[in-house]
Amino acid sequence: MSTARFLAGAALLIGLGGTYAIAQQKQGAGVFTAQQAAAGRAVYAAQCAGCHRDNLAGGGDAPPVGGRGFLNNWNSRTTADLYKFIALSMPAGAPASLSETHYTNVTAYLLSANGAKPGPRPFNKSVSVKIGSVATGRAPVLVAAAKSAGAKPAASPAPSTLPLNQRTDLMAPPFVLGHTVKGTVKNYVDVTDDMLKSPPDGDWLMYRRNYQGWSYSPLKQITPANVKSLTLKWAWNMNEGGANQVTPIVHAGVIFLSNTSNTVQALDARTGELIWENRIGPQSRIAYGGTRSLAVYEDKVYVATTDAKIHALDARTGKIVWEQPLGSPRNSNTGGVMVMRGKVLTGLTGCDSYSQNNCYISAFDARTGKREWIFHTTALEGQPGGDTWNGLPNLLRGGGDTWIAGTYDPDLNTTYWGTAQTKPWFRASRKSGAGATLYSSSTLALNPDDGKLKWYFQHAPGETLDLDEVFERVLINHGDQKVLLTIGKPGILWKLDRVTGKFIAAKETMFQNVFSKIDQQTGEVTYRSDILAQKTNQWFSSCPGPQGGHDWQATSYNQPTDLLIIPLSQSCVMIKGLDVEQKLGGGGTAASQQFYFMPGTKQNLGKLVAYRTSDMKEMWSWQQRSPFLSAVLSTGGGVAFVGDFDRNFKAVEVATGKVIWQTRLGNTVQGYPVSFSLDGKQYIAVTTGLGGGSPQQKPTMLLHEVHRPATGHQLYIFALPD
Amino acid sequence: MKRQRCVLGLMAALLLASSPALAADFEAQLDPAPFDATTRADVIGSIGHVTATLNGNTLTVNGTFRDMTSPARGASLRIGLAKGVLGEAIGTLNVTATPEGTVSGAVQLSAAQIEALGREAIYVRVDSEKAPEGNLQGWLEAKGK
């Protein structure tokens, strides 16, 4: 090839949009135009990449839409099927909300990014060609290359013909980042170590209110007898977009509130007046990226943001005091932060994509921001536990995310964290064989001073169906016995000795068919035989599925009754693991799912159950159609609060489980309700929200009669009448 | 899986007795079979209910279904590794070829299949024109459980 011909060819490629044209190696007539693919890329970047990633590799609940994983999943299906799938179910959290043109263009882009060739005729939803006949599954590398080179989309989406009130691209107001409201909190009182150890009754200083992770307020003003009189005191609209799964933090008459788009606000708890606001950013992409909890300590508010950074703000003004990176650009943080012994501890997520830094828990000096230590939650080569990965190199040791903040026992000076499963989800995808893949799906007991591991207990060695065990670790004393309780997606309630890590008991709180045996002496689980014999691209039944069982909607330990109140979800999936690219940037969660109701539940997705923790006896339970999307809050007044997918916020009598009050809010009750008091009055704060993974996705698919607004992130404050 | 173990014990006792005079009653709600976004509209909202009686080694199934978006075109009794796990057909059932109708039939079970019934690993599947690989499904449980 002469130089001139080479340059001419290169120019032609650039003219076609570069990214798309270079990978058109498959033979056959084009089923879309280059202009559609270019326009679709812009739609993808705005509406899809938040979950499926810029490199199309997928992550979390989002399957890969590029490469071998995509082609294995879609090879035998048609372009019309792909269009239909996207148009009916995407974007996550707002299915069928884009225009037909947008869906057409993004379908064209995905075909193009997987090696299909453009042609003169435009794609439309009726064009039905077997995807395997036009796509090769090769091209994402070029997409990533274009991004790293700073390339911009070749063209904007075609002009919409929709009425203005249906133009989703016009709905969001311009989002200005920065310290946007500069008020000052008056009469702020520094939060001390003693306050963190023994929180004042009227405050909610951390994620689960106390170090022990109880989600329990000792306040007693609201009781089963008067809860029916609860009235709304004020409400506050929060940022839309992203996943709203927040815990309001309350101190000194101020609510410190993390919004989506990594925005922190200080609100007067009496009036709802905004005192200060810092829009740290970046702006949240659709559906994903909640910041579940802030922390307050001394004169600072701490927030870990979805771009994997940690920030300390002046609690009085909202001004940034220090900030530090947490991980690589592929990482994120949604699990919130905890402060103990002058250190800020936080986890890391987004560890499904193969990267050099693996996953870990970090600790920073609360005053200076200096990083004190990290603990790798995937055991590395040559380290203790490093031989449990079937010989995989460190690069391919994905997962072990810590997307729920840990708890802490000051007496034992030990912090307890749950870890997520290994990534990709399936053993066959990640090629980890029967390896336990430590320290995934485990409880970790760490020394907060130096990050050294005291003990671990792995609940599901070599986990393989996206059944996390990452959730809250609840610390309870029964006389001299110091125990830890936790429950993961399989719905098994675990009880461990938190001094030694020794297994004490396990209870199945709901139907599950994943484990054929749970050894009641050791806690060892045995997978169903077909799961052990898995291959990629095979379907497997999983009850529960990735919704859980139990998910991030936390339990509440009601100390006066010794009851642990657990929100559960009941749904199943057919799930198959996909092949992955075992290279830097590859991996992902790599699975495809189908949905069905759990047998024997009569299509009730929600279940609320209370266990007495001393003897692990179930004391009451009931089911309902909608799953619970909020954590449980219980109080010293004997009332528990919980909210559901269908917008109902309910009060339950702790002793009996009876629903004694409920109201309907503006959207799904999602987040972590809290209780606080001011001037002798008890308040209940609860948020509504959209966005998130399986807990949003599964009921959206299964509950066909539930219709929710497309917006509605809000904070509501309830109290008894004055 | 603890409840299934209890039912398994009951079924083992029944099997040991092996008398045609002994009968066991089962039932299942039929719910939409697994779907994704492209097939959701074909199955969501449909529902049904079946009862079944084991007499000796004959399982007799009777039930109804409704709200399917296309006519039924077949039904089967099927076995999986466990409750909730899909598997192969072990017998054919009759259906009325309508979106709302009845399902019925009798299937001779082997000893292993009776044991699986006790583990709640046997289920009924109704197929339709739009969902030929399964529109409704439901796992048989001991009646009154």
pLDDT in tens, A16-69: 333 333 334 444 579 999 999 999 998 898 888 877 878 888 877 788 898 877
Q: Which residues of A touch B139 (CB under 8 A)?
A: 599-600
Q: Residue A169 burial (CB < 10 Å; 0-12/13-18/19+)?
A: middle
pLDDT of residue A209: 98
Least confident range from A105-109, A520-524, B3-7, B132-136: namely B3-7
In a domain, A325, yes or no: no
Task: Tell me the sheet residues that pair with A178.
Answer: A279
Q: Residue A563 burial (CB < 10 Å; 0-12/13-18/19+)?
A: buried
pLDDT of residue A69: 79
In a domain, A348, yes or no: no
The beta-carbon neighbor of A85 closest among B38, B44, B120 is B38
Give all domains of chain B, ordered by start, each with its CATH number: 2-142 (2.60.40)
Q: Report whether A445 contacts A407 (CB < 8 A).
A: no
Within 13 A of B125's CA, how many CA atoms are on the CB side?
25
Distance CA B131, CA B139 (A): 19
Distance CA A308, CA A280 (A): 12
Distance CA A145, CA A507 (A): 49
pLDDT of A2 higher than 50 = no
Within 13 A of A531's CA, how many CA atoms are on the CB side?
23
The two structure tokens encoding residue A598: 């759990």
Distance CA A718, CA A235 (A): 9
Q: Minimal CA–CA distance to A694: which of A567, A546, A592, A579?
A: A546
Q: Minimal CA–CA distance to A518: which of B63, B138, B2, B15?
A: B2
Q: Minimal CA–CA distance to A534: which of A512, A514, A508?
A: A514
**CB–CB contact A541 B35 (8 Å):** no
Q: Minimal CA–CA distance to A555: which of A641, A636, A617, A477?
A: A641
Distance CA A249, CA A302 (A): 11
Q: Minimal CA–CA distance to A160: which of A117, A245, A98, A241?
A: A98
In a domain, A78, yes or no: yes
In the structure, what pLDDT confidence band is assigned to residue A169 with cuts at 50, 70 and 90? Answer: low
List the single best residue of A596, A618, A704, A707 to mutate versus B (max B Cβ within 10 A): A596
pLDDT of residue A96: 83
Q: Which residues of B touch A509 (CB under 8 A)?
A: none
The two structure tokens encoding residue B91: 């017998």
Region of A341 on the Ramachandran plot (φ > 0 left; ψ -120 to 50 alpha; else beta):
left
Predicted confidence (pLDDT) per residue in B39-98, tens digit: 999 999 999 999 999 999 999 999 999 999 999 999 999 999 999 999 999 999 999 999
Q: What is the least distance, in Å, from the CA of B38 to any CA of chain A? A: 5
The two structure tokens encoding residue A544: 């529960």
In a domain, A124, yes or no: yes
Q: Is A370 on the interface with B (CB under 8 A)?
A: no
Q: Which residues of A touch B38 (CB under 8 A)?
A: 81, 84-85, 88
| Residues in Cβ contact with A50 at an 8 Å cutoff, skipping those fewer than 6 apart | A284, A285, A286, A287, A288, A289
Distance CA A634, CA A603 (A): 27
| Residues in Cβ contact with A57 at an 8 Å cutoff, skipping those fewer than 6 apart | A64, A66, A67, A69, A140, A353, A581, A585, A586, A587, A588
Mean pLDDT computed over A268-277? 98
Task: Look up the domain containing A137 and give its range.
Answer: 3-160
In a domain, A324, yes or no: no
Residues of chain A with pLDDT > 90, as a percent, come to 79
**CB–CB contact A81 B38 (8 Å):** yes
Q: Is B120 on the interface with A (CB under 8 A)?
A: yes
Which of helix, strand or coil describes residue A414? Answer: strand
* Cα distances (angstroms) measured from residue A642 to each of A235, A631, A647: 18, 6, 11
Q: Which of residues 8-67 of B touch A (CB under 8 A)?
A: 28-29, 31-38, 40-41, 44-45
Mean pLDDT computed over A152-177? 54
**CB–CB contact A594 B120 (8 Å):** no
Predicted confidence (pLDDT) per residue in A671-693, tens digit: 999 999 999 999 999 999 999 99
pLDDT of residue B3: 52
| E strand or H helix at A147 | helix A140-148
**CB–CB contact B120 A599 (8 Å):** yes
Region of A382 on the Ramachandran plot (φ > 0 left; ψ -120 to 50 alpha; else beta):
left
pLDDT of residue A8: 40
Distance CA A552, CA A567 (A): 10
pLDDT of residue A15: 37
Which of helix, strand or coil describes residue A168? Answer: helix
* Cα distances (angstroms) measured from residue A472 to each of A549, A556, B77: 14, 10, 42
Q: Which residues of A touch B45 (CB under 8 A)?
A: 704
pLDDT of A75 higher than 90 = no
Residue type at position A459:
H
Count other C-beta atoms under 10 Å from residue B118's C-beta: 26
pLDDT of residue A143: 43
Domain count, chain A: 1
Q: What is the mean pLDDT of chain A?
A: 90
Residue type at position B140:
L
In a domain, A66, yes or no: yes
Q: What is the least distance, in Å, from the CA of B62 to any CA of chain A? A: 18
The beta-carbon neighbor of B34 closest among A88, A530, A594 is A594
List the single best residue of B3, B30, B85 to mutate versus A (max A Cβ within 10 A): B85
pLDDT of residue A24: 40
Predicted confidence (pLDDT) per residue in A302-346, tens digit: 999 999 999 999 999 999 999 999 998 889 999 999 999 999 999
**CB–CB contact A511 B83 (8 Å):** yes
CATH code assigned at A46 = 1.10.760.10
* Chain A residue at shortest CA distance from B46: A704
Predicted confidence (pLDDT) per residue in A126-159, tens digit: 999 999 999 988 764 444 433 433 434 444 444 4
Distance CA A491, CA A721 (A): 39
pLDDT of residue A68: 79
Q: Is A505 on the interface with B (CB under 8 A)?
A: no
Q: What is the least distance, in Å, from the CA of B1 to any CA of chain A? A: 6
Counting one residue from chain A and one from chain B, the pairs whose CB atoms sit within 8 A come to: 82
The two structure tokens encoding residue B109: 């079970």
Least confident range from A68-72, A280-284, A297-301, A433-437: namely A68-72
Distance CA B103, CA A646 (A): 34
Q: Could you tell me the sign of the dihedral formed by the alpha carbons of B32, B33, B34, B37, in that order?
A: negative
Distance CA A558, CA A543 (A): 29
pLDDT of residue B24: 74
pLDDT of residue A687: 98
Predicted confidence (pLDDT) per residue in A556-582, tens digit: 999 999 999 999 999 999 999 999 999
Q: Minimal CA–CA distance to A363: which of A400, A383, A332, A337?
A: A337
In a domain, A371, yes or no: no
The beta-carbon neighbor of A528 closest among B3, B82, B137 is B82
The beta-carbon neighbor of A603 closest among B28, B31, B139 is B31
In the structure, what pLDDT confidence band is assigned to residue A267 with cuts at 50, 70 and 90? Answer: very high
Mean pLDDT computed over A361-381? 98
The two structure tokens encoding residue A133: 């006949």
The two structure tokens encoding residue A469: 């065990």
Residues of chain A with pLDDT > 70, as a percent, come to 91
Q: Are strands A591-597 and A249-251 parallel, antiparallel or unpaired?
A: unpaired
Provide the ipTM. Answer: 0.90
Q: Which residues of A touch B3 (CB under 8 A)?
A: 511
pLDDT of residue B17: 44
The beta-carbon neighbor of B45 closest among A81, A95, A704 is A704
User: DSSP letters along A528-540, please?
Assistant: -HHHHT--TT--E
Distance CA A387, CA A10 (A): 48
pLDDT of residue A76: 85
Predicted confidence (pLDDT) per residue in A517-548, tens digit: 999 999 999 999 999 999 999 999 999 999 99
CA dihedral B17, B19, B23, B29 (to 10 degrees): 70
In the structure, what pLDDT confidence band is assigned to residue A368 with cuts at 50, 70 and 90? Answer: very high
Which of helix, strand or coil describes residue A650? Answer: strand
**CB–CB contact B37 A85 (8 Å):** yes
Distance CA A654, CA A558 (A): 8
CA A467 to chain centre: 13
